[in-house]
């Protein structure tokens, strides 16, 4: 660069000095920083401790007093009920996998199946547990967008099991339907379950964990990456596709 160009170049603006913060502002910053660090840790510890205590209170009455650790220790040992429950369930699964254990389970299910009200509750709960804890299941593995509660307004949904043949035969349109669950904010355990045509759902490439964070935080915690731009692009492409499809549809005769 020549001397002329250097002399004609605009001078760089001087950095604006940062205003010194007062004592109250610093205290507020330190307090919020400590809250961000301690808040999640405290809530996680509280939920974990509550769960361990609940399992201990549930299992401890089933264990004879002579076999309880607090009988020989001056204090109560937390987590023993959880360990006992884990060992008992693992042992039950091992016995059920064998021929003898499977026979006993089938006999017990045969008796339960003869009870009018209990049989329906047991079969429904068994299907739910088998679906939730099955390693090959596809429940809530994918997320998507549907227009809800009104056209042009998009909501996050989780894909559930596809509708069975009896329900699919009764659905009005001949196209393929999918089952979706639309959780509510901020409690994702409540929501709406409905069947929707697959063409009306926009599948997303975000995980269910990121979608759950997005729902529980009411949009404050966004997924990592440029997913917001992808969501907007997908929504715009879908609207353009439907507008073009509606434009070529024949006008009904009056």
Q: Is the pLDDT of residue 254 over 50?
A: no
Q: Percentage of residues in the chain with pLDDT exceeding 70? A: 75
> pLDDT band for position 7 (50/70/90)?
very low
Dihedral angle computed from the Cα positions of residues 230, 235, 237 and 242, in that order, rounded to the nearest 10 degrees: 160
Q: What is the reported pLDDT for 251?
A: 54
Say how far residue 92 (Cα) sits from the centre of its chain.
Answer: 29
Angle in degrees, 0-180, between the axes of helices 80-97 and 99-113, rounded to the nearest 10: 100
What pLDDT, on the 0 to 100 scale, is given for residue 26?
84
Q: Do the beta carbons of residue 170 and residue 191 sit within 8 Å?
A: no
pLDDT at residue 97 is higher than 70: yes
Which residues, 6+ apart, have CB-to-CB distance to 51 below 8 Å? none
How large is the average pLDDT for residues 159-163? Answer: 84
| Tens digit of each residue's pLDDT (9 = 90 or more) over 186-228 | 777 788 998 988 888 898 888 888 888 888 887 777 776 555 5
| Contact in structure between 55 and 85 (CB atoms under 8 Å) | yes
* 190 alpha-carbon distance from chain centroid: 11
179, 195 contact by CB (below 8 A) = yes
Give 70-92 pLDDT, tens digit per residue.
888 888 888 888 888 889 888 88
Res 18 pLDDT > 60: no
**Residue 59 above 60 pLDDT?**
yes
Average pLDDT for 14-34: 74
pLDDT of residue 238: 65
Q: What order of strands is seen across the sheet that includes strand 177-183?
A: 191-197, 177-183, 154-159, 143-147, 202-203
Q: What is the mean pLDDT of residues 144-157?
A: 88
156, β-bridge pairs: 145
Q: Indicate if the pLDDT at residue 2 is higher than 50.
A: no
DSSP secondary structure string for all residues of the chain = --HHHHHHSPPPPPPPPPPPP-HHHHHHHHHHHHHHHHHHHHHHHHHHHHHHHHHHHHHGGGS-GGG-GGGTSSS--TTHHHHHHHHHHHHHHHHHHSHHHHHHHHHHHHHHHTSHHHHHHHHHHHHHHHHHT-TT--TT--EEEEE-SSTT-EEEEEE-PPPPHHHHHHSSSSS-EEEEEEEPSS-TTSEEEEEEEGGG-EE-SS-HHHHHHHHHTTTSSPPSSSHHHHHHHHHHHHHHHHHHHHHHSPPPP-
pLDDT value of residue 247: 64
Of 17-31, 37-51, 163-177, 215-229, the range with the lowest mean pLDDT is 215-229
Would you call the peptide bond into 249 cis, given omega within 30 degrees of 0 as the criterion? Answer: no
pLDDT reading at 115 higher than 50 = yes
User: Burial letters for 149-167: b for 16+ Cβ neighbours within 10 Å, e otherwise?
Assistant: eeeeebbbbbbbeebeeee
Q: In this predicted model, what pLDDT tens digit does every residue of 41-54 receive, in sequence order?
A: 998 899 899 999 99
* Predicted local distance difference test score (pLDDT) of residue 63: 84
pLDDT of residue 174: 79
- 21: pLDDT strictly greater than 70: no
The mean pLDDT of 221-249, rounded to a whole number, is: 63
126, β-bridge pairs? none
């Amino acid at each position: 660069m020549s001397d002329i160009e250097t002399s004609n170049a605009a001078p760089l603006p001087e950095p604006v000095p940062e205003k010194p913060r007062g004592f109250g502002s610093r205290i507020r910053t330190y307090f919020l920083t400590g809250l961000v660090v301690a808040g999640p840790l405290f809530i996680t510890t509280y939920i974990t401790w509550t769960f361990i205590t609940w399992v201990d209170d549930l299992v401890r009455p089933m264990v004879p007093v002579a076999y309880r650790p607090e009988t020989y220790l001056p204090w109560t040992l937390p987590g023993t009920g959880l360990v006992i429950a884990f060992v008992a369930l693992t042992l039950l699964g091992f016995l059920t996998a064998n021929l003898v254990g499977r026979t006993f389970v089938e006999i017990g299910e045969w008796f339960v199946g003869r009870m009018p009200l209990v049989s329906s509750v047991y079969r429904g709960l068994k299907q739910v547990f088998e679906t939730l804890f099955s390693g090959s299941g596809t429940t809530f593995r994918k997320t998507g967008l549907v227009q809800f509660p009104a056209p042009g307004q998009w909501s996050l949904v989780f894909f559930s099991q596809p509708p069975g043949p009896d329900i699919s035969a009764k659905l009005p349109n001949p196209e393929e339907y999918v089952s979706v669950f639309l959780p509510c904010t901020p409690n994702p355990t409540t929501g709406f379950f409905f069947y929707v045509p697959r063409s009306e759902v926009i599948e997303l490439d975000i995980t269910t964990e990121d979608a759950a964070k997005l729902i529980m935080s009411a949009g404050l915690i966004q997924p990592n990456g440029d997913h917001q731009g992808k969501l907007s692009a997908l929504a715009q492409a879908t609207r353009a596709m439907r507008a073009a499809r509606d434009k070529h549809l024949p006008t009904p005769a009056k």
